[in-house]
Structure 1
Amino acid sequence: MHFSYATPDGDPNGMSSEALVIIDDEPFSQECLVHAIGSAFPRMPVIGFSTVGEFSHAEGTPVGLVLLRVQSHSPSGGQLTNETRGILQYHPDVPIVILSMCMKIKDVQEAIAMGVRGIIPMSTSFKVAVAALQLVMVGGTYFPRFANGDLPFANGTKDARDLVPEEHQPLFLPHASQQPYFAIVEQTGDMLKTETNGATVIFTAREMDVLEALQKGWSNKWIAHSLNISENTIKVHIQRIMRKLHATNRTEAVFRHRQLNGLS
């Protein structure tokens, strides 16, 4: 059984031909995710499946991204590996993002080695989760970073087998090297004042919305209409993006963003 959601916003011809697929074996949470993410991506069909097997037998629909929700408690490493491998067997080029409350560090490392493009903790806000999905869709990656710069011990455990991100910490996006390049943070007054530090560039979730639109070549007017905010606000976001990327214009900002993500 699968559940789908699509709401053309404006011109129906603007709908994407690629679908965002959600795999979740719990019907209630699957439908909630499909509805919520569908509302955040109004021009992209969002389809829910109960299992990887069910998804693998669905033919004829191009897939832009797969969001795999694993159990709330630490999933079996073998199960996660098998599910990831099952997705890649039928869609070898599709970016995969894992949504989980708790994961073993070994499983995280194996998932990344297999090509998983992102891991979203269940403690993440919806706004940041959407920004993370948008980033993966344009070629970025999204993984947790913790207060000590490494993977912390889980409460109540004697070793680092469980991956439990600390609250209120930015989530960093590793490049091919170990040096983090980008971070997505909540759009609060304090965090908007965060400045570039070394090779790290910090974006708010809204700035990531605008940056994604810039990469699509959208005008300020169309970005404002799409995000339901004023053109003046869009100009402010673009100025901040340009300043953080040390760009002199919007085209250079897009190029530098792609360059730092290894896409140019």
Structure 2
Amino acid sequence: MSGVPTILIEHSTLFREGLGKLLARTGFIVTATVASADEIDGEISPEPELMILGTGESDSGLEKNIRRLRERFPNSRLVVLADQYNSDQVHTAFRMSARGYLMKTINCSTLIKSLELVMLGESIFPSAILTRMADEHGLDIEIEDEIAVEEPPILHSSRSLSAREMQILQCLVRGQSNKMIARNLDIVEATVKVHIKAILRKIHVQNRTQAAIWAVNRLDPPPAILDGHSAMDAHGSAFKLTRVHMAP
């Protein structure tokens, strides 16, 4: 995997160009930039794995744009970038299965980290916004458990991993199950489990998600898909994810 095909939907040409140049230095490959979902015309190849949708505080077309994008690219992950907090927009984005709602004031490194986590399967919403949204709209947000994914201090490098372990680690980054890894590498599933345990021990992490995030920060290629749902405080370099359930 050479990069994550990405499309940008944002009314500001300047913002689109700036974000496109920022993403060009990362593992996200911008394949199309448009002002609105209505402007997407013809085939886009490769089909985007990530869609970044910009919106303003008074943007009344957010739901329409999300719906059009969902119809066109049902398997792509969607992140909303907002000018400023709007509880109605957060609710709309969450309800329509967007994978993130972030402020345009976010710093560059945190934005990239957030997008990487989205591609690892996390749904990234600032926890403070979810709390305010629950208070303002009387929504039921139930915290199920917390996943600490702040990167632990690691004194060693990937050189301690074998070639096979490196292969399997890259498969984890792409979100593959043990069965998929076994089939792709032509080994039995039990062997995959043994290698994963060794990887976790060598890089001093607790689970597959932490291992994938560790790899994102150190290895190429960039991340792909891993299932999960969470909210996060997207301010600063440390990430604490909280699994949540929102009642309709």
For the aligned pair, the TM-score class normalised by the smaller chain equals 0.5 to 0.7
Q: Cα gap change, 1:22/1:215 in structure 2, threshold over 3 Å: closer, same or farther?
A: same
How far has the Cα of 1:127 moved from its partner? 0.9
| Superposition CA RMSD, Å | 4.1
Q: 1:135 — aligned with what?
A: 117
Correspondent of 1:150 among 112, 131, 148: 131
1:75 aligns with 58
TM-score after normalising by structure 2: 0.58
Aligned to 1:108: 90
Structure 2 unmatched runs, 5+: 159-168, 175-199, 216-225, 231-248
Deviations 1:219-250 (A, max 9, x none): xxxxxxxxxxxxxxxx99932x33xx4x8x95
Task: Say whether the 8 Å CA contact 1:20–1:65 is kept in structure 2.
Answer: yes
2:40 aligned with 1:59: no
1:108 partner SS: helix
Higher RCO structure (Cα 8 Å, ≥6 apart): 2
Amino acid paired to 2:58? P
Is the CA contact 1:180–1:200 (under 8 Å) kept in the aligned structure 2? no
1:15 aligns with 2:2: yes
Q: Using the alignment, how far apart are the partners of 1:150 and 1:63 within structure 2?
A: 31
Kept after mapping to 2: 8 A contact 1:117/1:140: yes
Is 1:19–1:46's contact at 8 Å kept on the other side of the alignment?
yes
d(CA) in 1 for partners of 2:85, 2:16? 20
What's the secondary structure of 1:67's corresponding residue?
A: strand
CA distance in 2, matches of 1:213, 1:117: 22
Contact 2:31 2:48 survives alignment (8 Å): no
Alignment partner of 1:49 out of 30, 34, 42: 34
Identity of aligned residues (%): 15
**Residue pair 1:24, 1:30 contacting (<8 A) in 2 also:** yes
The residue correspondences of 1:1-264 to structure 2 (distance < 5 A) are: 14-16=1-3, 19-41=5-27, 44-55=29-40, 57-61=41-45, 62-71=47-56, 74-76=57-59, 78-146=60-128, 150-151=131-132, 178-179=142-143, 199-204=146-151, 215-216=172-173, 238-239=203-204, 241-242=205-206, 245=207, 261=229
One-letter amino acid of the counterpart of residue 48, structure 1: T
* Cα 1:94–1:51 shift into 2, 3 Å: same
Q: 1:200 to 1:250 in 2, by over 3 A?
A: closer
Partner of 1:230: none
Q: Is the CA contact 2:52–2:79 (under 8 Å) kept in the aligned structure 1? A: yes
Distance change >3 Å, CA 32–CA 85, structure 1 → 2: same
Question: Residue 38 of structure 2 aligns to which amino acid in structure 1?
Answer: G
Distance in 2 (CA, whole Å) between partners of 1:132 and 1:160 is 25
CA contact (8 A) 2:53 2:81 kept: yes
**1:137-162, CA deviations, whole angstroms, 9 ceiling, x for partnerless residues?**
12211001129x7128xxxxxx959x
**Separation in structure 1 between the aligned mates of residue 106 and residue 202 of structure 2, nearest angstrom:** 23
Alignment-mate amino acid for residue 143 of structure 2? Q
Cα pair 1:98 1:118 within 8 Å, conserved: yes
- The secondary structure found in structure 2 opposite 1:21 is strand
Distance 1:201 1:215, change over 3 A: same
Q: How many residues align?
A: 178
Matching residue's letter, 2:21: H
